Each structure stands twice: as structure tokens, then as C-alpha cells.
Amino acid sequence: MAYTMNTPWTLAGRNLAIQKAIAEIYEQYFAGGPRWIAKHLPQRKQMGDYASKLSDESKEILLGDYGIESFIEDYALMAIQASGDSRAISQTYTQWVFDETRHSKALWYCFIDSALYSHREMDEYTYQCSQHVWTFELQTGHEATPERGAAYAIAQERQTKKNYRDMQRRVWQEYGCPRDATQRPVYPAIAGVLGTLATDEGYHEAVFRKITRVYLKFWPDKALQAMWDVYEKYRMPMVKLPNAEAFLDAVLSTGIDSPRAVVKDILKPTYESLGLESRAAVKRAARESWDLPEGAVIQVGDTLDPDITEDAIPYRMNADGTFTPVSA
């Protein structure tokens, strides 16, 4: 099938360009994404040796992390809604749901192999989690769309990545800071699994960032409005956890997460990775993008994208959220 790229500013043209670009992102994701299976994680054999070293706070936080990951079926439902009839987005989410499903499994093995909780306790906890439903609408106040789903996911993936990295370091310290013969840190048992989870989340963050940049390029006003919709009131995943109180106490007392850290470590870098310096800049860009003429596209970087034809009207988005026309 031949794609003609000569009218990226019409509704059909924009959509074609977006679908083609997302299909390419999916190809890269599928070809280069992390490949591992929870049951076959090598760290499972090490769990017994390290189980007694884990603190109660870490145990509580990891249980909460498991709880959040166990809501994957609700996220999968959101993915179906947010994919619409786009095969490229649907493929991407299918791979993502597969990746995420093994996260809760990996944590489940951590608890069972370390004998931190019994099968019965884990079953009961999981069942209690399943009594609640997470929805995108409840989380963000907006209906799920492909562009909102991608923009929201950048921040959430980044937050989970940071959480797993921080927890990996914490658990490593509780294990007594193990190092190899050359003094390099080694991450056995749960510390190793957390590193694997963090790598997955970082990979997801990059995939959704690429997708959002595609929308930003070909459909700036829609993409920027979606970003503002989901970042304006961004917060921790809104799921009901059976150990909510103990989880929150542990999170706060260990300093693993805080509202301030969310702004500094999650939201600000997310805005910056999309070319905007601050929350105010996102708001301004969302507002000003409505005044861009029909046919406007956003030039990413210093050179005009070869996919953008002569007939499109390229603009540069500045870090403060204003737009400047790019003269040919």
C-alpha cells in the first residue's frame, strides 16, 4: 500500500501521517523492547537468601506497587477505548499490556519466593484489589482518547520508573550494599527484579513520548490540549489499595514519593522532553495553538521534517509555549 503524504493538514492526511508514524514506533518497540518472562527471572533462586533483610516499610511499599500493577485489566480496558479504530495504537497497547502484566507477576514471585506472604495472603490481597475499578475518567477527569492516553502515560511510566529505581537502591542498601570483586554494585533477588521493572517502565515512557511527539507535530492543537487535560491535575494512580494507609505511611516516611517530587522529578522533565519549560508554558501553548492557521504543523528541531510538504505551514514551538512561523 502506498501512502501519499502530500496533504498532511487535511483531516485524512493528518490521520494518515499519524498512523504511519505510530506504526513505525510500534515496529521499533516490538523489535527492541525488553524480553523476559516473570516465571523465568534468574533472581527467583536468590530470594530465600535475602528475604530476612527486607524492612517492613519496603515490604509494605512493594505490596502497594503490586496492588497498583494488579489493576492492569482496567488499564487494558482504557487501552481498548483509547485505541479507537487505529491498528497502530492498538498493537502498541497490546504489547504494553503484555509487558505490564508480567510486572505484577514478577512482584508476586518476589513475595512468594521470599516467603514474605503466603499464597492465601496474596490471593486475598489480589481479590480485594479486584473489587475496585480504575478508570481514565476518574484519574484525569477526561474521556480516554489516543492523544490523552499517550500524554498521561509518559508521566505515569516515568513515575513508576522512578519509584522502582528508588526502591531498587533502597532494597540494595537493606541487603547490605552487595558488590562484586571490582566493587561494582550487584543487585540480587528483589533488588534485581526492581531494576528489570524500572527498565521496562523507562522503555514505555520513551514509546509514549514518541507517540505524543507525533501528535504534537501533525496535530499541535489537539496534542497540546490533551497534554493540558492530563497534566493539569496529575496525581498518583487513583486505585484503592487494601493496605492504602500503611502503604502511604511507608511511602511518606521513607521519602520515596511526595507531591513536591512529582512536580520536580516527574512533571517538569515530562514538559521539558516535549519542548516546554514549565506548566505555564504547557497551558500557554495549549491556548495559543488554537490560533494557529489551518494546516499548521510543528517543526521539531532545527530542520523541517521531510514528511512535511511545502504546502503545510510550519511553526516552531518555543519553550515558553509561544509559536513562531518558520520561514522557508
Contacting residues toward Fe ion, per CB under 5 A: 100, 103, 157, 201, 204
> Could you tell me the three cell numbers for 166?
528508588
Judged by beta carbon, residue 144 or residue 285, the one nearer Fe ion is 144
Is residue 194 a contact partner of residue 171, using CB atoms and an 8 Å limit? Answer: yes
Closest approach of Cβ 103 to Fe ion, in Å?
4
Closest approach of Cβ 174 to Fe ion, in Å?
22
Judged by beta carbon, residue 72 or residue 216, the one nearer Fe ion is 72
> Could you tell me the three cell numbers for 2?
502506498
DSSP for 15-75 reads HHHHHHHHHHHHHHHHHHS----GGG-GGGGGHHHHGGG--HHHHHHHHHHHHHHTTHHHH
Cα 245 to Cα 142: distance, rounded to the nearest angstrom: 27
Judged by beta carbon, residue 23 or residue 97, the one nearer Fe ion is 97
Closest approach of Cβ 207 to Fe ion, in Å?
9
Judged by beta carbon, residue 201 or residue 305, the one nearer Fe ion is 201
Judged by beta carbon, residue 154 or residue 282, the one nearer Fe ion is 154
Encode burial over 252-280: b for 16+ CB neighbours within 10 A, e otherwise.
eebebbeeeebeebbbeebbeebbbeebe
Closest approach of Cβ 14 to Fe ion, in Å?
28
Is residue 235 a contact partner of residue 267, using CB atoms and an 8 Å limit? Answer: no
Please give the angle made by the CA atoms of 52, 197 and 278, to the nearest 5 degrees. 120
**CA-based R_g, the chain, Å:** 21
Question: Residue 124 corresponds to which amino acid?
Answer: E
Closest approach of Cβ 157 to Fe ion, in Å?
5
Q: What is the dihedral of CA 296, 297, 298, 302, to 10 degrees?
A: -110
DSSP 8-state class, residue 290:
G
Judged by beta carbon, residue 58 or residue 225, the one nearer Fe ion is 58
Closest approach of Cβ 4 to Fe ion, in Å?
35
